[in-house]
Amino acid sequence: MSGYRSPAYNRRVGGAVHSRHLTNEAADLVAGYATVAEAERAGFTGVGHCGGWAVHVDVRPGPVVVFSDC
């Protein structure tokens, strides 16, 4: 659904100032595409979820962080 974002587009959609989308290190997924567990097994270290489905994934440094994105 969304991967890289230009700075202008990121501002327009209300993205974080230091969004990992700006450095091509994040993606937003269609709900139902992957579970949180599948995203973690795939190596993502940032996983936003809604109802058990991964809807945002990124590769931030450090341990896995799972957060609600809805």
Q: Which domain holds residue 47?
A: 7-68
Is residue 2 in some structural domain?
A: no
* Overall number of domains in the chain: 1
By CB atoms closer than 10 A (0-12, 13-18, 19+), residue 63 is: exposed
Q: What percent of the chain has pLDDT over 90?
A: 90
Please report, for the domain that includes residue 28, its CATH number. Answer: 3.30.1380.10
Q: What percent of the chain has pLDDT over 70?
A: 100
Q: How confident is the model at residue 32, as a pLDDT?
A: 93
pTM of the model: 0.89
Taking CA atoms, 66 is separated from 3, 7, 15, 23, 28, in Å, by: 19, 25, 18, 20, 14
